[in-house]
Structure 1
Amino acid sequence: MTDRSFIRHVVFFSAKDRADIARIREGLAQLADIPHSRHFEVVENSGVDTLSGEVDVVVYAEFDDAEALAAYKAHPIYQKSIDVVRPLREMRIAADF
């Protein structure tokens, strides 16, 4: 294991309807305006790994500590993003490490 002094936050999303993938990506992209992350990106799954096609969009972010991650989730833009994305998504899986 690497010794790191930050938290990686990775969230995988699948769309109920593939036609909504761009709207999901746009809804998640507004999270970049929250100031608590040291790095933030939203990308569509490239689909290079043909053994798994369940994931459509990925959020990857890095935070200095648990407090920064908590502040990110408490920010009003976070709820705004949820309001856009939740009705469009089938699955959401998050991991913090």
Structure 2
Amino acid sequence: MIRHIVFFTAREENREAVRAGLSRLTGISHATKLEIGENLKRDQWGNEVDFIVYGEFETEADLAAFQQHPDYQLSTETVKPLREMRFAADFDSDQAVTRPLGVTPELA
């Protein structure tokens, strides 16, 4: 499974328009799960992110199809001029670390 996570920042006056633009993504059927969330801003070290897009896709081809969908393009055209920063990451959850790894002597 491919997990797609994108973080956005936006000025206060653009937040509702960014939220509405991102919400278009939820109508695209290629994801097995797609959520648009607002950062609760409770982290002790950094709270710069305003919005999070979290998606799960069965395959990389599904993610690519999602990103080629007309609603994705419309969302991008709406949000890009209104957001300040965007950070994205994709990873294969089948390859993810899910338990503690051995501790090496130099880290002990």
Q: Compute the TM-score of the two structures, normalised by the length of structure 2.
A: 0.81
The answer to whether the aligner puts 1:9 opposite 2:12 as a matched pair is no
The answer to whether the aligner puts 1:68 opposite 2:50 as a matched pair is no
Q: Distance in 1 between matches of 2:48 and 2:42?
A: 12
Whose Rg is larger? 2
- SS of 1:14's equivalent in the other structure is strand
After superposition, what is the alpha-carbon deviation per residue over 1:10-68, rounded to whole angstroms, capped at 9, x for unaligned?
000001x2121121111001101111000000011000114212100000000000000
Identity in percent: 47
Amino acid in structure 2 at the alignment position of 1:46: L
Q: What count of residue pairs does the alignment treat as equivalent? A: 91
Large movers: runs of 4+ above 2 Å:
none
CA RMSD of aligned residues (A): 0.8
Q: Name stretches of at least 5 consecutive residues in structure 2 with no aligned partner.
A: 92-108
Q: Distance in 2 between matches of 1:19 and 1:13?
A: 14
Q: Compute the TM-score of the two structures, normalised by the length of structure 1.
A: 0.90
